[in-house]
């Protein structure tokens, strides 16, 4: 494995592509077409949280984006959340 010596911020980024396929149960003849959405994005992962940013075209003719933030509570509060409930 070769190291490119990138900054820590860039090294924690994970590129991804999300595919979302929608097909109505009644079939496309009832007015709802089948759709396929391709949303490129990137995950930024740290020890206590991760952020995901992706783009989407489900907002009509304009391009929108999604931003999600996940906090890892057991890493943020290791002395309280990571303990068993009953001893």
pLDDT digits (tens, 9 = 90+) for 61-72: 666 777 788 888
Do 39 and 66 form a contact (C-beta atoms < 8 A)?
yes
| Torsion from C-alpha of 40, 44, 49, 52, nearest 10 degrees | -10
Q: What pLDDT is stored for residue 48 in this prediction?
A: 82
Confidence at 18, pLDDT banded by 50, 70, 90: confident
Q: What pLDDT is stored for residue 78 in this prediction?
A: 77
Record the pTM.
0.58
CA end-to-end span of the chain, whole Å? 45
């Amino acid at each position: 494995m070769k190291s490119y010596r990138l900054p820590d911020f860039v090294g924690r980024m994970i590129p991804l592509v999300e595919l979302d396929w929608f097909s109505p149960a009644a079939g496309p003849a009832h007015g709802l077409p089948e759709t396929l959405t391709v949303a490129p994005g990137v995950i930024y992962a740290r020890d206590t949280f991760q952020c995901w940013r992706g783009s989407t075209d489900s907002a009509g003719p304009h391009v929108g984006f999604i931003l999600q933030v996940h906090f890892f509570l057991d890493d943020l509060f290791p002395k309280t959340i990571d303990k068993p409930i009953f001893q």
